[in-house]
Structure 1
Amino acid sequence: MKYACDLLEIEDIRLEDYLTDMQIEGKIICTGEAQSEIYLSSLYYMERNTALMLNALNIRAESDETFVQRRIMRIQSEEDIILDDKQADAVKASVNNGVLIITGGPGTGKTTTINTIIKYYEEDNKEIALAAPTGRAAKRMSEATGYEAKTIHRLLEYTGKPDEGEIDKSRQGSKFLRDERNPLEADVVIVDEMSMVDIYLMEALLKAIVPGTRLILVGDANQLPSVGAGNVLKDMIDSGEYKTVCLTHIFRQAALSDIVVNAHK
């Protein structure tokens, strides 16, 4: 409160009056100790809804560890790659967890891990959707994996603006054709560059994913957060509610790059 008053150059009592009025009007919600946490109402409910949808997806599955390990070893042999322990753990975790976070700095093998996960699920004929928050990130993901990756907006079939003339009245106000009424036809959804995803886009994505779908979120938690509201990736990691595998080993080729080395300092 004091910081806000200093920033706005107004008296404490005036700010309290403003906040009270905004609460009465339903524009903000105050929670926490002494009502010190203040949210825009829209963002408060968006965060709650996002958490509920994530928890619905976060289903623990049992698997045959020996079978999974053998398949991973065979994929490594076929693709002529060697996964380190953390990368292998990430692939195994993608089988056992409805929601998985893979985080790590540049050069730690996130792309190789993604590729191995794709190969793993391809053997089960699973439908896999790859996405990233920006066109550039989606293009990099496509080039690195050899599979089509879309922006999240394109994956969700963004219409540009709410269609007031929509025949289906329940869809009026929605900017995405893919949602809970028209979910994605995917068994596995992999999102790269998750640190750039804000709460608005995350909620929209989750609305289009049905329980039973594997959701794999990949990114560097140490990067700057999204421009929009919400620090989704970091908040999910900090919550401790979702399986997180942190890749730390810098591979030989990346280790020769001064940029990569300095990024880890």
Structure 2
Amino acid sequence: MSSLTDSSELTRPSLISSGWTTAGTARTRFAKESTDDTLKVQIAAPALTESLQRLRQQFSQIQLGSEYFFQALDYLCLGESVQKKETEAATLRLHVQLSGLLLMRKAVISGSTCLPWSELQFQIKAILLQTGFFEKEISPDEWEKWLLTSSGTEEGSEGFCAEKSIFVENNSLLYFKKNLSREFQLISLVRMRLNMQPEFPEKSEVENVLKTVLEVNPVRLGEHPLKLAEEQKDAVLSAISNPFLIISGGPGTGKTSVAVTLLRVLKRLGLAKRPALAAPTGRAAKRMSEAVVSSLRSLENLEQLEEDLELLDVAAEAKTLHRLLEYYPVDRSFRYHEYAPLEHDLLIIDEGSMIDQDLMISLLRAAFSELQYQSSVPRIILLGDTQQLPSIGNGAVLQELTAENSDSVPEVAVDNPVPVVRLVHSYRQKISDPAGRNILGVASTVKEMELNPRPELLFETESPNHEIIRRLNGLEEAESEKVMFLNQTNSPNQLLEFAQWWVKRFLRDEKFMFLVQREYLLDAVESDASQLDYLFNYLKRFRILTATQVLSTGAEALNQIILKCWLAENGTKHLFSEHYPGEPVMVSENNYQHKLFNGDQGIFLKFIHPVTKKVELKAVFPVEEE
């Protein structure tokens, strides 16, 4: 939340002038408030040296809070005074170790589990030069040794050894020991999963079931029956024959269609008697549930299809991975693991790119049985796109397991590769549609720039790919469905102009304005279902996406500017506690009681209280019917 303030920043003056360790800060405060001058001198912690103050400032510029700096310094010095580092070599060593420790901490916060030694060395050198060291003083020959023996004790002492360090090197990558241990655990679990031999039905039986699912009783996309492309059929067949499969593809490539078909096929083959659907977040789980339920309900004779009726219940129960594994927040553990395994026979996990290393370990443990009387989960299917949502915590597991570049392929994928089916054709943005073609073309160019960074190709009309980002001279040139660029300085006047244009373009629809000014009955919402559906669908047509929540161009600032523009046209009489009828609202925390999840979007509307008859502003959300 934006109202929170980094508490470490509040104590900065006392930390710099009086002490630096966590214990030292508390000791200094106690000395200042509770003792006489003689005792203050004895118990107060020493000050930072000038070079350490400069180093601290360097890390504050890369958004690494002060608490990390002092924790790292305390660990390296074990409470000793930094003034004892009298020699130049000892001073340099402390700065190298401290920089390395903090840069690794920064990498972990950003989602990485390791850093290439060459990259870390480059970053340390840059930090030291900014701190005040000279080029001739910096020789990285011993840096790796110093970091791998960062135990907080002096060279020659009993503690100076690699076993005492929190760092470890593997394949020219530097890890925190805990992270490498977890990576080895993940590799072991993936290998065990790949060595499993699930029951595989006869080919003729699979073909007959596929014919039933795709031709006799197909789900429908609009007015047409679902027809799988060859790459999608390959994904279904691969999922039947493998204990662990990754289906990778961008938006609109048909991952959900594959999942629905796979569910229906395995159900009829008797290999999905107890399936489960899950995703890393509540919003993703709900979206998956809605998509599968919608597909199954498109069946023309659903009430006669027992297997599909059972799958409807399964889809409605799609849940987060934490709920699937039953997370215990008190001791940060899960109910299910290898000695209390899941009893499902199929797991289909959506948004696999969001699964971090620790969560993947927990999932694979829960799907593997060490019990003689209970089998492991025979099949796990991961759906996702490495180009979309990143992992929530450390480790981009899906990206590593699907890597095609041999330099980045993890050890487990070299000797026993994870089966991956890549869906490449998009059915959402069609080449025949000018807007869809433009979006696909720009997206393709952006992906190519990972290997050949040439941003000018996005705007170059003479380039082979003519689907470019169009430069706008003004907002009046903007179209609804294409990628366009308006180059401006984002001054207050320009932001106000944008907000006014937005209100005029999207918030003046006659029917929309009429419906948001209506007063609805709180105890008869169902009677207004068609009007509410219109409002929800209207708001889905457009969004403002910002890079940040904060700053002058962030979501919070733009929302306030748009609010002022809206009030300028409609007056303050429509304002209710800083919100107004027709204002979009987004859920930021899961609410399982109301089946609302992080990312769900609704709208503020006026309601008449059934008892007091007062007009109140309420947030309304579309919820899937039972």
Which TM-score band (shorter chain)? 0.7 to 0.9
Q: Structure 1 residue 209 and structure 2 residue 338: aligned?
A: no
Match of 1:100 in 2: 245
Q: Structure 1 residue 235 and structure 2 residue 400: aligned?
A: yes
3-state SS of 1:21 partner: coil
Any conservation in 2 of the 1:105–1:264 contact (CA below 8 Å)?
A: no
Match of 2:504 in 1: none
Letter in 2 for 1:232: V
Alpha-carbon distance change, 263 to 152 in structure 1, aligned in 2, over 3 angstroms: farther
Q: 1:75 aligns with which of 213, 216, 224?
A: 213
Gaps of 5+ in 1: 163-173
Distance in 2 between residues matched to 1:28 and 1:17, nearest whole Å: 10
Distance in 1 between residues matched to 2:227 and 2:429, nearest whole Å: 15
Distance in 1 between residues matched to 2:399 and 2:277, nearest whole Å: 21
Q: Structure 1 residue 47 and structure 2 residue 212: aligned?
A: no
Q: Structure 1 residue 3 and structure 2 residue 129: aligned?
A: no
Alpha-carbon distance change, 151 to 226 in structure 1, aligned in 2, over 3 angstroms: same
Q: Structure 1 residue 120 and structure 2 residue 256: aligned?
A: no
Match of 1:152 in 2: 321
Match of 1:136 in 2: 283
The structural deviation recorded for 1:178 is: 1.2
The structural deviation recorded for 1:14 is: 5.6
Any conservation in 2 of the 1:129–1:189 contact (CA below 8 Å)?
A: yes
Q: Structure 1 residue 25 and structure 2 residue 164: aligned?
A: yes
The percent of aligned pairs where both chains have the same amino acid is 34
Distance in 2 between residues matched to 1:212 and 1:191, nearest whole Å: 13
Q: How many residues align?
A: 250
Match of 2:465 in 1: none
Distance in 2 between residues matched to 1:29 and 1:232, nearest whole Å: 20
Match of 1:181 in 2: 339
What TM-score does the superposition give when structure 2 sets the normalisation length?
0.38
Moved more, 134-143 or 67-76: 67-76
Moved more, 19-28 or 136-145: 19-28
Alpha-carbon distance change, 14 to 98 in structure 1, aligned in 2, over 3 angstroms: closer
Any conservation in 2 of the 1:179–1:208 contact (CA below 8 Å)?
A: yes
Alpha-carbon distance change, 237 to 60 in structure 1, aligned in 2, over 3 angstroms: farther
Any conservation in 1 of the 2:344–2:377 contact (CA below 8 Å)?
A: no
Alpha-carbon distance change, 129 to 26 in structure 1, aligned in 2, over 3 angstroms: farther
The structural deviation recorded for 1:29 is: 1.8
Alpha-carbon distance change, 99 to 7 in structure 1, aligned in 2, over 3 angstroms: farther
The structural deviation recorded for 1:60 is: 4.8
Match of 2:422 in 1: 246
3-state SS of 1:92 partner: helix
With a CA cutoff of 8 Å and minimum separation of 6, indicate the structure with the bigger relative contact order: 1
The structural deviation recorded for 1:52 is: 1.3
Distance in 2 between residues matched to 1:119 and 1:43, nearest whole Å: 39
Letter in 2 for 1:142: S
Any conservation in 1 of the 2:252–2:429 contact (CA below 8 Å)?
A: yes
Larger Rg: 2
Distance in 2 between residues matched to 1:182 and 1:208, nearest whole Å: 7
Distance in 2 between residues matched to 1:81 and 1:183, nearest whole Å: 36
Residues 75-107 of structure 1, C-alpha deviation per residue, up to 9 Å, x if partnerless? 012123211111111111111101111011111
Q: 1:199 aligns with which of 333, 352, 357?
A: 357
Gaps of 5+ in 2: 1-116, 152-161, 219-224, 294-314, 369-375, 404-412, 446-626
Q: 2:256 aligns with which of 111, 126, 129?
A: 111
Letter in 2 for 1:145: V
Match of 1:165 in 2: none
Any conservation in 1 of the 2:343–2:377 contact (CA below 8 Å)?
A: no
Match of 1:225 in 2: 390
Match of 1:56 in 2: 192
